[in-house]
């Protein structure tokens, strides 16, 4: 999230809207409510409490060495016509999409 926060102005210039979605319960193990009290996000942050979104996008993982009942970190660029134009799925919980690739996908989606 930090890399996206630091690029907020660049996303605005692109006319892009950014959302974060976490496969987490509101009062779940990682305490998202408390986290956002301490570190607010300038982007909307949605909780996928029943894992419906993460399952629909194919990033849900029931059990892996990284964790259980969570999602792989993933980034999607969805064009104005609703078509997914870019997908990046991290191999582990610590791998994120390179911002350069995200911005290239945003350019291509215009």
pLDDT at 64 over 70: no
Q: What pLDDT does residue 37 have?
A: 81
Q: What is the mean pLDDT of the chain?
A: 86
d(CA 95, CA 90) in angstroms, rounded, equals: 5
pLDDT at 49 over 80: yes
pLDDT at 73 over 80: yes
Question: Which residues neighbour 93 within 8 Å (Cβ) at sequence distance 6 or greater?
Answer: 66, 67, 70, 72, 73
Domain spanning 2-109, CATH architecture? 3-Layer(aba) Sandwich (3.40)
pLDDT digits (tens, 9 = 90+) for 17-38: 999 988 888 877 777 777 878 8
- The Cα-based distances of 16 to 10, 12, 43, 46, 77 in angstroms read 9, 6, 11, 17, 9
pLDDT at 67 over 70: no
Percent of the chain, pLDDT > 70? 94
Q: What pLDDT does residue 66 have?
A: 61
């Amino acid at each position: 999230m930090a890399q996206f926060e630091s690029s907020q102005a660049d996303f605005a210039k692109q006319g892009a809207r950014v959302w974060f979605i976490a496969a987490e319960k509101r009062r779940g193990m990682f305490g998202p409510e408390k986290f956002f009290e301490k570190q607010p996000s300038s982007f909307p942050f949605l909780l996928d409490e029943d894992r419906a979104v993460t399952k629909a996008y194919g990033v849900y993982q029931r059990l892996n060495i990284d964790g259980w009942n969570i999602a792989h970190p993933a980034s999607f660029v969805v064009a104005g016509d609703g078509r997914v134009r870019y997908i990046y799925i991290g191999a582990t919980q610590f791998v994120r999409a390179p911002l350069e690739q995200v911005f290239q996908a945003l350019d291509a989606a215009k």
